[in-house]
Structure 1
Amino acid sequence: MRSRGGLLVATVIAGLGLGFTVTNIGFGDYAELNRMFTFQDLRMLLAFAGAVAILVVVYAILQVRRAPGRIHAGVVPGAILFGVGWAISGGCPAIPIIQVASGYLPALVTIAGVVVGIRLCRWANGKYFHLDRGSCGL
C-alpha cells in the first residue's frame, strides 16, 4: 500500500509534467486556441485526434469494454455550454490555471466564471432539476 505522501508527490509530479506538456504544445495560449476553434490552424485539433486515437488503441490492446449506458440528462446541454465557454474564454477548467501560471492574468476571469458556474449549477440543480450530486462538477 502506498503512503499518502508518496501518492501526493506522484500526483504533483504528474500534474507538473502535464502542465509543462500542455503549455509547450500551445494549449495555454489563447491565440492558439482561438486559431483552433476558428479552424485557422488544425495542429491542436489534430493533437486531440491523435490523443483519442492512441487511447482507442490502448483500450483495444487492454481489451477495455464498457457496456453502453443511458446518457445522463445533463450531458448534451453541459457539453454545449462547456464548448461555448471554452471557445469564448480560451480554456477548459484546467487551462486557465496554466495560463495564470504562464503570466496570462485575464485567465483569472475564466477561473472566477468556472467557480460561479459550478455554484449556479448546484443552486439550479437543488431548486429545479434534482439530478445526481456529481452532475455539477467539482
Structure 2
Amino acid sequence: MRTRGAILLANIITGLLLGYTVSNIGFGDYAQLNRMFTFQDPRMLLSFAGAVVVIVCAFALLRVRRTPERIHAGVVPGAVLFGTGWAISGGCPAIPIIQVAGGYLPALVTIAGVVVGMRLCRWVSTRYLNLDRGSCGL
C-alpha cells in the first residue's frame, strides 16, 4: 500500500519534470504560443499531437475505457472560454506558473485572471445556469 508521503513525492517529481519539459520546449514563451495559435510555427501543435498519441497508446495498453454517460452542459462554452483565454494570455492555467518560476512576473496577472474566472464561473453557474457540478469541481 502506498503512503501519502510516497504519493506526494511522486507527484512533486512528476510535476517538476513536466514543468522542466514544458519550459524547455517553449510552452512558457508567449511568442512561441502566439506562433502556434496563428499557425506560423507547427512545432508546438505537433507536440500536442504527439502527446495525444502517447496518451492514446498508454490508455490502450492499460485498457482504460471511459465512456461518459452524457456531456456536461458547460463543456462547449468552457472550452471556448479556455481557448480564448489561452490565446490572449499566452498560457493555460499551468503555463503562467512556469512563466513566474522563470522570472516573468506579468504572468501573475494571468494567474489572478484564472482565479477570478473560476470564481465567476462558479457564481454564474450556480446563480443563472443551474449546471450540476459534475466532475469539473465547480
2:94 maps to what in 1? 94
Using CA pairs under 8 Å that are at least 6 residues apart, name the structure with larger relative contact order, 1 or 2: 2
Shift of 1:130: 1.9
1:53 maps to what in 2? 53
Unaligned runs of 5+ residues in structure 2 are none
Q: CA RMSD in A?
A: 1.6
Q: Is the counterpart of residue 6 in structure 1 residue 17 in structure 2?
A: no
Kindly tell me: are residues 135 and 119 of structure 1, through their superposed partners in 2, closer, same or farther at Cα, counting changes over 3 Å? farther
Q: Which aligned segments of 4 or more residues in structure 1 are displaced greater than 3 angstroms?
A: 134-138
Letter in 1 for 2:129: F
Normalised to the residue count of structure 2, the TM-score between the two structures is: 0.92
What are the Cα deviations for residues 1-52 of structure 1, in whole angstroms up to 9, with x where unaligned?
Answer: 2222222111111111110011011111111101100111000000000111
User: Following the alignment from structure 2 to structure 1, what is the Cα–Cα distance between the partners of residues 88 and 135?
Assistant: 22
1:112 maps to what in 2? 112
User: Following the alignment from structure 2 to structure 1, what is the Cα–Cα distance between the partners of residues 116 and 136?
Assistant: 11
> Is contact 2:28-2:98 (8 Å) kept?
yes
Shift of 1:107: 0.6
What are the Cα deviations for residues 65-124 of structure 1, in whole angstroms up to 9, with x where unaligned?
Answer: 233532111000100000000000000001000000001111111000000001111111
> Is contact 2:28-2:95 (8 Å) kept?
yes
User: Following the alignment from structure 2 to structure 1, what is the Cα–Cα distance between the partners of residues 122 and 67?
Assistant: 29
| Structure 1 stretch displaced more, 126-135 or 101-110 | 126-135
Percent of aligned pairs sharing the same letter? 76
> Is contact 2:96-2:108 (8 Å) kept?
yes
> Is contact 1:97-1:107 (8 Å) kept?
yes
2:121 maps to what in 1? 121
> Is contact 1:74-1:135 (8 Å) kept?
no
